Amino acid sequence: MSKRIVCKFGGSSVADAEQFKKIKKIITSDNKRGIIVVSAPGKRNPKETKLTDLFYSAHDLAVKGVDISGPWNVIRERYLEITKNLGLNSDTVTDDFALLEKQLREKPEEITEDYLVSRGEFLCAKIMAEYLDAQFVDSYPLIKFDKRYRVLGQSYTDINQALSDESKIYVVPGFYGSGTKGNLKTFTRGGSDITGAILAKACDAHVYENWTDVSGLLMADPRIVADARPMSYVSYREIRELSYSGASVLHDEAIAPCRDKDIKINIRNTNRPDDAGTIIGPEVEGNKEIITGIAGRTEFSMIHIEKSMMNKERGFGRKVLSIIENQNLSYEHSPTGIDSMSIVVDSKSFSDVEDNVLEDIRLEMNPDSIKVIENLALIATVGHGMSHNVGVAAKLFTALADEKVNVRVIDQGSSELNIIIGIDENDYEKAIKAIYKAFVS
Ligand code: ASP
């Protein structure tokens, strides 16, 4: 493992020149921070639109043959304002803008959506490199995907070589790479996190710092538990189990590359650089809190099927799950009884295919009854500390019972890493508060 630190700065951290200045301080305060990944500039206030979204709009208008001036002028002004306020020469980006605009207006069919949108991070990285007096390295030729979107092994070698000089500072745009035919491909939204993780893996980084606008992760949603405690350490596995939480700070796919090499991910706040933030890393032995965090989400539905002698009918579960799969639906949980099976699914995705799913189950499985339970919330209580600890479930269910919360689904993985409950949506906040109070407050 090298001593180098990969730092990724998200949209809010590069939203304007003042944020760039904070980044310079962060980078110069530790000379191990040699590899910088940036997102496209984000919102400066809640009313604004992220530049990435404006790039999508501009492309949409251009291919429809409609004037792009609306979003385009806003995008250009934002970049020019940043360069101006940093005292940089605007030539860094004006030529790029002129060329892109000409293409969009004259030959929009020659510019793909992925390419145009990727300019959000590309231009931001160019400005950042100039401002930090660092070397700009484009991610397009370095990060290559196969047809199934997996990063090719060769990419790791190429990245390692391209960023090999440990005395230098490199700035790399996040969010994209190239597909099998040399076409530029973006990741899914929020994908600059993945770029940072790939670079961290390729360079055997000591730590991957993910700089954002919060000082790490909290043990529960602060909109529900106002004084929720910060998590100082959470394992890779725990963070996956906590991914139900609506506002996820880190892209799901950024974990795996770091996990492959046990590289710790440190979530940090650009606006409060002295805060230690949260570390996401390998499991650690030793005395831990019983729970690490609580996360949940509403808007789930449960399909409940009953059929006598179900347990003797071979392949029943497999067939039901293939019906779900054939409708392109993924499922969250599947609690079973001897003559019953339930499948918990996301309500929004389910509503599009509900009739087909129910009809197929009726026709193919011939159940005694089938019903759909709507408005379900799932809550995951997560922590390695629960394992082999007597009384955890008792404490959790007592807390819920005391608040008169009826539990409809219970699921505890055999790893004892989590207990997931399904409850009526109306009890959602009450339940989170009750669990938090029982284990944390
Ligand atoms: N700019 C991209 C997005 O808005 C990628 C990122 O910010 O990570 O999704």
C-alpha 238: how far from its chain's center? 14
Whether 6 shows a pLDDT value over 90: the answer reads yes
> What does the pLDDT average to over 137-157?
93
Three-class secondary structure of residue 152 per DSSP: coil
Radius of gyration of the chain (CA): 25
In sequence order, which residues have a C-beta less than 8 Å from that of residue 111 and are 6 or more positions away? 59, 62, 100, 103, 104
Residues 60-72 have pLDDT tens digits of: 999 999 999 999 9
Q: Is 396 in the pocket of ligand 1 (CB under 6 A)?
A: no
Q: Is 52 in the pocket of ligand 1 (CB under 6 A)?
A: yes
Residue 260 one-letter amino acid: D
Residues 96-140 have pLDDT tens digits of: 999 999 999 999 999 999 999 999 999 999 999 999 999 999 999
Q: Whose CA is nearest to atom 5 of ligand 1?
A: 190
Q: How far is the CA of 364 from the centre of ligand 1 (A)?
A: 43
Inter-residue contact 240 to 265 (CB < 8 Å): no
Topology of the domain covering 293-439 = VC0802-like (3.30.2130)
Q: Which of 39, 122, 123, 248 to mutate to test the pocket of ligand 1 (most atoms within 8 A of CB)?
A: 39
Residues 326-367 have pLDDT tens digits of: 999 999 889 899 999 999 999 999 999 999 999 999 999 999
Q: Is 41 in the pocket of ligand 1 (CB under 6 A)?
A: no
In sequence order, which residues have a C-beta less than 8 Å from that of residue 91 and are 6 or more positions away? none
Strand partners, 186: 176
How many angstroms separate the CA atoms of 294 and 342, rounded?
24
Taken in order 253, 259, 260, 263, is the CA torsion positive or negative? positive
Superfamily of domain 10-207: Acetylglutamate kinase-like (3.40.1160.10)
Residues 275-285 have pLDDT tens digits of: 999 999 999 88
In sequence order, which residues have a C-beta less than 8 Å from that of residue 308 and are 6 or more positions away? 339, 368
> What does the pLDDT average to over 48-53?
95
Cα–Cα separations (whole angstroms), residue 163 to 27, 35, 119, 166: 16, 8, 21, 8
Task: State the pLDDT at residue 166.
Answer: 94
For the chain, give every domain's residue range: 10-207, 293-439
Q: How far is the CA of 40 from the centre of ligand 1 (A)?
A: 6
Whether 385 shows a pLDDT value over 90: the answer reads no
Cα–Cα separations (whole angstroms), residue 120 to 33, 39, 175, 370: 23, 7, 9, 49
Q: Is 196 in the pocket of ligand 1 (CB under 6 A)?
A: no
Q: What average pLDDT does the structure give for the chain?
A: 94
Whether 246 shows a pLDDT value over 70: the answer reads no
Whether 247 shows a pLDDT value over 70: the answer reads no
How many angstroms separate the CA atoms of 144 and 148, rounded?
11
Q: Is 11 in the pocket of ligand 1 (CB under 6 A)?
A: yes
How many angstroms separate the CA atoms of 166 and 168, rounded?
5
Q: Whose CA is nearest to atom 8 of ligand 1?
A: 190
> What does the pLDDT average to over 291-310?
95
Q: How far is the CA of 165 from the centre of ligand 1 (A)?
A: 28
| Band (248; pLDDT cuts 50, 70, 90) | confident
